[in-house]
Chain A
Amino acid sequence: GAGVSQSPRYKVTKRGQDVALRCDPISGHVSLYWYRQALGQGPEFLTYFNYEAQQDKSGLPNDRFSAERPEGSISTLTIQRTEQRDSAMYRCASSRGTGAFYEQYFGPGTRLTVT
């Protein structure tokens, strides 16, 4: 079956612009996660959802970052007034349930470059 998909795969934007990154999880997966990954580092947790409810957003760096999953399926991570330090790979993952027992399936990521 189809895996986790993300779009766009690459995004170049000018500083100060808003960007929206999309994640389409595996069908039927309850939980959806957003991570940010810098070169040479492991994925850094941003936020996660169970169905449409945002359960934890403690990893969002500041209030320019927000995420939603209105119908419990597709999710959008929005970054307002982008800054150069926001440049990174943004990864989405989904799982059948929440908790360490459930394997996370990762998408290919969106490479964001802020110029």
Chain B
Amino acid sequence: LAKTTQPISMDSYEGQEVNITCSHNNIATNDYITWYQQFPSQGPRFIIQGYKTKVTNEVASLFIPADRKSSTLSLPRVSLSDTAVYYCLVGDSRYPGNQFYFGTGTSLTVIP
């Protein structure tokens, strides 16, 4: 199972771009990389998913290098409402596998 490692916490000022990197050295060929966001007192919410290169949606971008051993979630121009915990999950597209492993995530605090 591909384990993931993320920084425990990060601080950023409003308006800055935030990059959160996740390491997954043992990622397998069929594994997808998925990021979830969790606000206090709420359940996690899907942000973005990718397999390789770059994926962008209205919320974030996900950068995945060619070796896929890491990935970087990029949040453009963060606001106070982006303060949350961000989880990186790696799992097989066909089977549940360790897509269930959320870990402790990265707690992002956006400062005014």
Instruction: Name A's B-contacting residues (CB within 8 A).
Output: 4, 33, 35, 40-45, 48, 55-56, 59, 91, 93, 98-101, 103-109
Ordered by A's residue number, 14 sampled pairs between the chains whose C-beta atoms are within 8 Å are A35-B100, A41-B104, A42-B105, A43-B44, A56-B96, A99-B91, A99-B92, A99-B93, A100-B32, A100-B49, A100-B89, A103-B46, A106-B43, A106-B45
* A106 contacts B100, C-beta separation under 8 Å: no
**Bound-complex Cα distance A45 to B44 (A):** 13
Tell me the dominant secondary structure on chain A's binding face: loop
* A45 contacts B100, C-beta separation under 8 Å: yes
The count of residues in chain B whose C-beta lies closer than 8 Å to any C-beta of chain A is: 28
Confirm or deny: B99 has a beta carbon within 8 angstroms of a beta carbon on chain A.
yes
- Knowing that A35-B102, A107-B43 touch, tell me 7 more A-B residue pairs with CB under 8 angstroms: A42-B87, A44-B102, A45-B100, A91-B43, A101-B93, A103-B46, A106-B45
* B95 contacts A99, C-beta separation under 8 Å: yes
